[in-house]
Structure 1
Amino acid sequence: MTAAPSTRAPREERPSDSWIVALLFALAFGYDTVEGVANLQQLPLLYLGSDIQGATPWWLLIAGVALPGLLFLAALWIGRRMRLVPKAGILLVALGVSAQLSLLAEQFARQIAITALGG
Structure 2
Amino acid sequence: MTAATPTVRRPSGAFVGKLVVWVVFALLFAYMTVQSIGNLVTVSQSVRAFNAFLGTTSGGNSLARSTPWAWLVLDIAIAPVAFAVALWVSRRARLAVTVGVFVLAFAAAGALWLDLQLFVPRLLDF
Q: What is the TM-score when the length of structure 2 is the normalising length? A: 0.75
Q: Spell out, residue by residue over 1:31-87, the C-alpha distance to the aligned partner (whole angstroms, 9 max, x if none).
A: 000001111211111112222764211011111111100100000111111111111
The separation in 2 between residues aligned to 1:107 and 1:36, in whole angstroms, is: 12
In our comparison, the structure showing a higher alpha carbon Rg is 2
The size of the alignment, in residue pairs, is 104
Gaps of 5+ in 1: 1-11
Percent identity reads 27
The separation in 2 between residues aligned to 1:53 and 1:91, in whole angstroms, is: 41
Q: What is the TM-score when the length of structure 1 is the normalising length? A: 0.79
* 2:37 corresponds to: 37
Counterpart check, 1:84 vs 2:59? no
**Once superposed, what is the RMSD of the aligned Cα atoms?**
1.7
Gaps of 5+ in 2: 1-11, 52-62
Contact 2:14 2:95 in 1 (8 A): no
Which shows bigger deviation, 105-114 or 86-95? Answer: 105-114
Contact 1:72 1:94 in 2 (8 A): yes
